[in-house]
Amino acid sequence: MKQLLAAALCACLLVQPAAAVTGAPEVEAGSAVLMEKETGAVLYEANAHDKLEPASVTKVMTLLLVMEALDAGRIQKEDLVTVSARAASMGGSQVYLKEGEQMTVDDMLKAVAVVSGNDAAVALAEHIAGSEEGFVALMNQRAAELGMADTNFVNCTGLPAAGHLTSAYDIALMSRELILRHPDIRTYTTIWMDTIRDGQFQLANTNKLVRYYEGCTGLKTGSTDSALYCLSATAEREGMELIAVVMKSPTSAQRFESAKAMLTFGFANYTLVDVRPGEALPPVDVALGVVDQVQPVLGQSSRILVDKSQINEVTTAVRLTEGVEAPVEAGQKLGELVVSVAGEERQTIPLVAAQAVERITLPGIFLRLLEQLFMAG
């Protein structure tokens, strides 16, 4: 009854901006964001910076820190995690860990990603940082590094706690960092059904989109009586991955439908386009170098996000320095590729030196003069 009353109250306060934005997705939630992974561009938002309870979507940050520890070699998937009394005492979603029980990091990750096990989350936190409090300090530090200005974590689970708040935008930021830097997380977040404890305990994914939405790659559900229904959903189609965040949705079904609506809107209207110079880049003259010229190349990824209706209106222009003086470092900026869409400048991509050019020495200058005299003779 308490949850029904909360849902009814939320429904009265819902933001439904669909009528205000032509073609915008139907979203039934207190807050929502749609973000593209590669560029970080926000394609849709509603109350994106409202500070709300995230429930178990909190565990996106927990998973991020665990994946960072794995990729850095601080822990291994085969490591055994010993369950403390505190971890075993967690309520809510759990895999019923017992004090003293040991389970691999790999299975603990499954338990967190697939069924949102609070006990597994705390066990992993303690394994990495010595205590949940120490781990939460790392969570808040990482949030600050990612620019999550709306966020304050109090625990690693998302269980209700005073001051434990974040925003749809911040959830999108940490979700992006997780799927962009640690694509192996899909090994866990795309599991529909699995087992732990040598097949004795069944796991079924709380994220129904994994089975019912084409291209779904994860990511994390959450719900409590006060947070209502939350979700960070990720999906990839045709080489573009999107993140749809829903907070304070009145029912579980509505959070999934809202996420699907945003993802479908994004895939229908946007695409990533590879941009290249219209012609071969000319070399840049180098003064006082062991060679006279250096070749510029694109300094970073050259994909940009565009509205599908403007896919044929992408143009590029090259701006190169007239010359540089040696020494030239590999990767030194020599100019930029200006990308415009429908005549409006959208992005600049640095053009950098493909290789280093050392400064010529006095003996080198002398030899070069002799060569020039010999050739002239």
- Active-site annotation holder among 31, 84, 93, 116: 116
Q: CA distances (Å), 16 to each of 32, 45, 181, 225, 361, in order? A: 10, 11, 33, 22, 69
For residue 27, give both structure tokens: 């979203």
Any known ligand binding at 220?
yes
- Based on the domain organization, do 33 and 171 belong to the same domain? yes
- Based on the domain organization, do 122 and 205 belong to the same domain? yes
252 is catalytic: no
- Active-site annotation holder among 31, 56, 175, 258: 56
**Cα 58 to Cα 163: distance, rounded to the nearest angstrom:** 13
Bridge-based pairing of strands 270-274 and 42-46 is unpaired
116 is catalytic: yes
- Active-site annotation holder among 59, 110, 208, 248: 59
List the Cα angle 295/301/305 in 5-degree steps. Answer: 135
List the Cα angle 135/140/141 in 5-degree steps. Answer: 95
- pLDDT in the model for residue 364: 64
- Based on the domain organization, do 306 and 262 belong to the same domain? no
- pLDDT in the model for residue 362: 79
Amino acid at site 94:
Q
- pLDDT in the model for residue 7: 40
Query: Are 26 and 254 a contacting pair, CB within 8 Å?
Result: no
- Based on the domain organization, do 245 and 333 belong to the same domain? no
Does residue 274 lie in a domain region?
no
H-assigned helices in 194-239: 209-212
56 is catalytic: yes
Query: Are 88 and 26 a contacting pair, CB within 8 Å?
Result: no
For residue 4, give both structure tokens: 């029904």
Indicate whether this model's pTM tops 0.85: yes
The domain containing residue 25 runs over which residues? 2-269
10-residue stretch averages of pLDDT, the chain, 377 residues long: 38 36 82 97 97 98 98 98 97 96 98 98 98 98 98 98 98 98 98 96 97 98 98 97 98 98 97 91 94 94 90 94 95 96 93 94 73 67
- Based on the domain organization, do 265 and 203 belong to the same domain? yes
3-state secondary structure of 176: helix
- pLDDT in the model for residue 20: 31
Rg over CA atoms, the chain = 26
- Based on the domain organization, do 175 and 261 belong to the same domain? yes
- Based on the domain organization, do 75 and 217 belong to the same domain? yes
Residue 297's nearest CA partner among 276, 326, 269, 267 is 276
- pLDDT in the model for residue 142: 98
- pLDDT in the model for residue 2: 36
- pLDDT in the model for residue 301: 76
Does residue 294 lie in a domain region?
yes
**Cα 13 to Cα 26: distance, rounded to the nearest angstrom:** 15
Q: Report the number of distinct structural domains present in the chain.
A: 2
The CATH number of residue 307's host domain is 2.60.410.10
The CATH number of residue 95's host domain is 3.40.710.10
